[in-house]
Amino acid sequence: MKSKKIPYGKLCLAFVCLCVFVAAFMLGFFLWPFFLPAAAALGGYLYIHWRYLRCPYCGTWENLERLHYAANHPSHCRGCGRLLEFDR
């Protein structure tokens, strides 16, 4: 039986989307067109989080901070209790 894993690349991409969102949102207060890339980055993050960053066994969503911790330390899902593993 093949074990199910969370894609590590998607976790890194979610962090990039959040960094772009924060930078563009702050620049948007000075130059309003930067709100458009901020909205696109937030939409990308929400899509990645909704589609990929969840427990592969029960489908429970985990927050980004907890998943980042689980990528480097043994951690279990809050819903089903199984070990969260990442595909590197």
pLDDT in tens, 62-88: 889 999 999 999 999 999 999 999 988
Residue 66: CB atoms within 10 A of its CB come to 15
The residues near 45 (Cβ < 8 Å, ≥ 6 apart) are 14, 17, 18, 21
Per the structure block, which two tokens stand in for 22? 């924060």
> What's the whole-model pTM score?
0.86
Q: At 3, is the pLDDT very low, low, confident or very high (cuts 50, 70, 90)?
A: low
What is the Cα–Cα distance from 81 to 75, expressed in whole angstroms? Answer: 9
Q: At 1, is the pLDDT very low, low, confident or very high (cuts 50, 70, 90)?
A: very low
pLDDT of 88 reads: 81
3-state secondary structure of 57: coil
Per the structure block, which two tokens stand in for 7? 């894609």
**pLDDT, tens digit, 9 for 90 and up, residues 6-58:** 999 999 999 999 999 999 999 998 999 999 999 999 999 999 999 999 998 99
Q: For 54, list phi and psi in degrees, rounded to 5.
A: -145, 165
pLDDT of 10 reads: 94
